[in-house]
Structure 1
């Protein structure tokens, strides 16, 4: 029985960074028109994006801690953005 290597399409780091930037710009645009305020809207959208990246990473069976960038790395970046937004929201509320 032959052992098949991981044949999933691997993106170049530039493509992953472009995807991250475009997705972040779209989230920012949608949050700007949110009725609950920009801070709360962007936090909710970032949280949904974190879940989306995790689900896609699991469905595509991408490995965590690889040399290349994938959805798990995007999830980590969105988590960092989410934490920063929540901290700013807390500081602006007090």
Structure 2
């Protein structure tokens, strides 16, 4: 979901783009240049705007942690009450 798209002052084809991605709800910002059907990221860095908390605990690589959402976060965890019900 694009949450912000605005033209950079003084540039007719440069946009400040902010998006919220799922799963995890990460909000990212970068600059994009283009028009029509041809767009490209101007700055090679994409910035994480919101905190990622424990969503990237599966990696120790600090360069990619802000971009990560671990698959293990998608897996349902069993609660102690549901585990005890299944053993009775």
Give TM-score scaled by structure 2 length.
Answer: 0.24
Q: Which has the higher helix share?
A: 1
Q: Which has the higher strand share?
A: 2
